[in-house]
Amino acid sequence: MNNISKLISLLGGTGVVAEKLKIRPSAISNWKKLDKIPSTKLEAILELSSYLDVNIENFLPSKKLNNLKFRMLLIICGGIASYKSLEIIRLIKKTDIELDVVMTKSAQKFITPLLVTSLNERKCYIDLFSVEDETKMNHIKLARNPDLILVAPATANIMAKFANGLADDLASTILLASFSKIIFAPSMNPIMWNNLATQENYKTLLDRGIKFIEPDTGDMACGENGIGRFPEPKTIYEFILSYIKESQMLSSQFKNISIVITAGPTVEAIDPVRFISNNSSGKQGFEIASELTKRGAKVTVISGPVNIPFPNCENVIEVKTAQEMFNNVTQQLPADVLICCAAVADWKLIPKTSTNNIIDLNNKIKKTNKNLFFETIKNPDILETIAKSNLRPKIVIGFSAETDNIKKNAHSKLISKNVDLMIANDVSNNKVFGEDYNEVCFIYKDNYEQLEKQSKKSVAYHLANKINDLLIN
């Protein structure tokens, strides 16, 4: 099944898509046959996909998507600086950016939806419970359509809501339901900005990958002076344009680069109902896969059993044992980059009786089997084997989970296994497995770089930059 066939299937099938787009089913069938959607229908397909958890980028080449306008959503919150958002709209309207606007109830106390509608020449959305809008699941459409969401002015209230997962109005619901990049431009009283609660929310959002246009310092409408002043609209506008330019550059950074990533744990059966494994969740490997995919790489993930959603990448292969993971990695080579992030079992266990007879692995071991012991058989070292083989990718990166002598042990592995970069982390006291944060150290042959504790998403971002440096050098 080709990409377009898969997409049509996820959207409900040929008949459903034809009905929604009001075209003949034979046209849809032709798209599937040619594995191509006419450029005139891309907008309609994108709108239809926004109602579902379907990322159209997984099925259409990026060059096709680039023909679509850049979509932006502006969320205006309540504050004395709300009127300045009108200037942001005016500046955005000078570009070819397609802009939608959402206003909170508090924002409407300062400026009117009619004024925003007139200036933007598009409907201004204000109500989560609008019968007209929500019959079309409009909050989901607004969440999924934009390439970028700008919250300006961002109040202490909206920051607190988003940091704590609250969704009690249209704006906060959109933020929680969106896959888009989100930028906050805060505006509030200096005491509110410096309040411990606000600063903790600020740090939480930063750790989750939310960007901030930092507030200015100056005189406030309340008569006080300090940090918290809304950035000038021109500053925000220039920040947005710079972000768009950077995003477009990053989206093709790893074009034509193939990357294989191992993630998650492996399991080794003892009998049909028992196994040994570890606590790896796969989160770090999946975040790396997502970041590299965003930058245009062709990413294949080979994952052990996990309980989290798969990343939106080229391919995900599910395995269980270390041997299965090794076999699938070799099948994906040659590749440009190999990242061994999985927590692979070093051994598999063969149960034996006291008389040294191997127990039948097809049957459950009974309690009556006394004096049971296990023979260990070493699994293939995927990282070392590939790094020392003729199939070695240009860049080989490993992860080293350690409980003591973190840097020393990781460096020894880097040398002995012949890899380019070893990423070491402290897993003592179960600090990393299953968590959203990681504290890692990038180990090179001649030096190292210690990163402060940060989200696994942020670690993935830093690693992507390092991979780019290694490929260039």
Asked whether 83 and 111 are in contact (CB, 8 A), the reply is yes
Which of 77, 124, 222, 340 is catalytic? The answer is 222
Q: Which amino acid is at 307?
A: N
CA distance 352 to 428: 32
Classify 250 in phi/psi space as left (phi over 0), alpha (psi -120 to 50) or beta: alpha
**Sequence-ordered list of residues with C-beta below 8 angstroms from that of 171, at least 6 positions apart, any chain:** 75, 77, 102, 103, 104, 151, 158
Backbone angles phi, psi at 76, to 5 degrees: -100, 120
Backbone angles phi, psi at 92, to 5 degrees: -65, -35
Helix (H) or strand (E) holding 455: strand 454-455
Q: Which residue stretches of 128-224 are H helix?
A: 131-134, 138-144, 156-163, 170-177, 190-194, 196-207
Q: Which amino acid is at 93?
A: K
CA distance 1 to 130: 40
Q: Is 341 a residue of the active site?
A: no
Place of tokens 């080579």: 333
The SS3 assignment for 256 reads coil
CA distance 335 to 316: 15
Active site residues: 222
